[in-house]
Chains A and B, each alone.
Chain A
Amino acid sequence: MTLPNCDEIIELIPAFVLGALDADEAARVAAHVAACPRCRAEAESFRDVMGLLPYAAGSLDPPPHVKRQLFARIAAVSENSSTYAVAQPRRPAARTSLPGRWFAPMLAIMLALIVGLGAVTFEARGRADAMAAELATNRQIMRSMEAQIAEVRQTAQTAQMQLAASQRELNETRIQLAASQRELQEIQASSSTDEQLVSFIAAPQTVSQLLGTTERAPEEASARMFMQPGHNRLVLLIYGLKSAESGKVYRLWLAKEDQAIAIGTVTVGPDGVAEFVVDAPEPMDAYNQVMITLDEVDTAAQPSEEVIFEANL
């Protein structure tokens, strides 16, 4: 097989096998030789010449350290065969920057160190990365927990505030309830009194008597007494009477055989009305006179001169 430019290429093959072609021309010939059996055979025909030409330079033992360094280099890489591909052949240009006799052992040692240190560094870096990742995760968990704790604390504070407010409301409610209960009790008591008063006044056997007023009584004042024969109870309703001035009270007296007995004090409301229910020591039949006086608070031994109402029974 002959390619179109074989004759031209064949002329260049001797220079090609000697390495005496320029780079671009050598590349062109190499490409042709690879595809052309005839030219490849021509190139291989110079194999013996190229294999013997170096002998023309003579024979000289290289220093022993060259061999030691070479096999130390191989051993260093072989011991780290996993990183075999990393090791690259040295280039003369790079070596010229260092003394040649030291470069190879240094490179072998450095390769071993790099591989060893690389493994240690990689392992350490891996551990550091794992620890850093774990630390970051822990920090994130801690931040999350801190946020949860803060949220719980805020919730607890809110709950405490709500509880305190509820307790205050409860106390106020209790106070209001107590007041209401007292009011209710008072109302119930008042209602009971009113019921008793109404039932007593409405009873068929009850008789009433209008008490007479004196010149000390206000013109609009009036008083009526209700009682039942044979019973001790006495009900007194007063209208149009002013409240007693300070240090004085209205006092009810019953008289028996000219002996006046203080029965109780009568409280007049702001509306000028007073309702008084009292059980006398004896049935009302035993008394022959009733009167209401304006007395000093501490003088209950006998009625004063200031009689407001009076009546004979």
Chain B
Amino acid sequence: MPAADSSALDDEVLITRVAHRDSSALEHLYDRYARIVYATALRMLGNTELAEDIVQETFWRVWRRSTSFTVGRGQVAGWIFGIAHNLCIDELRRQRARPATVQSEHKEQAMLEQPDLQGDVADAAIERERRRIILEALAQIPSEQREVLELAYFGGLSQSEIAQRLNSPIGTVKTRTRLALQKMRDLLHNQKIGADDLHD
């Protein structure tokens, strides 16, 4: 059951075991991705308690919905991060709908300025490599595209909200969003690397 026993296991093997109600497999996935989820949630929500809740709820849903994950159709990490991201967006939109929100705790930081505070070294090399890849890719796209990408992904803003925030035409925001993501895709494709590649 210790994480070290299967730290080298493929994510798809682990998610298959989770689908068969192997909680130790979920623990491996937690040890592998909870740090990323927590950092992302904290980045998006700016509140440690809410971020902790997002982590727990994300892996609870992984446990509950593992049977719906189709092996071979996508990355396990991307699926987990998608769950966490959607939870954060829902929370942000609820906060915006309420008169008083906890957004005051939100401390916006540029993606390129996020510290690496990971403490577990089991997957540290993989995490560092992935972070390096994404940061390098982000560094290669224009800053206005990176800004839109950051507001969309970590700010949880819709394109119309981004346009309002930046006081830019909605068409411009749509174009920047599309170009940013396409550029990121092409950069990563050129590097022939994906999020799961390092675990496969």
Residues of A in contact with B (beta carbons under 8 Å apart): 11-12, 14-15, 17-22, 44-63, 66-67, 69-71, 73-75, 78, 89-93, 95-96, 99-101, 103-104
Contacts and interface: CB of A to CB of B under 8 A. Distances in A.
Given A14-B180, A18-B153, 11 more contacts: A15-B177, A19-B153, A20-B159, A46-B185, A48-B193, A49-B181, A53-B134, A60-B42, A61-B34, A66-B34, A92-B90
A52 B112 CA distance: 14
Given A67-B34, A100-B50, A55 B23 contact: no
B102 to A, nearest CB: 8
Interface string B72-103: 00110110011011110111001000000010
A96 B95 CA distance: 10
Interface in B149-200: 149, 152-154, 156-160, 162, 174, 177-178, 180-182, 184-185, 188-189, 193-196
B177 A62 contact: no
A2 B112 CA distance: 38
Interface string B50-72: 11111111011101100000000
Chain A facing B: main interface SS: helix
A76 B92 CA distance: 30
A92 B57 contact: yes
A95 B55 CA distance: 13
Chain B: number of interface residues, binned into ranges: 35 or more
A14 B159 CA distance: 11
Contacts of B54: 92
A18 to B, nearest CB: 4
A6 to B, nearest CB: 15
Given A18-B153, A20-B159, A104-B53, A55 B34 contact: no
B35 A59 contact: yes
B111 A57 contact: yes
Contacts of B56: 66, 69-70, 73, 90, 104
A19 B156 contact: yes
B17 interface: no
Looking at B56, B182, B185, B196, the one whose CB has the most chain A CB atoms below 10 A away is: B56
Contacts of A92: 50, 53-54, 57, 87, 90-91, 94
A60 B39 contact: yes
Nearest to B42: A60
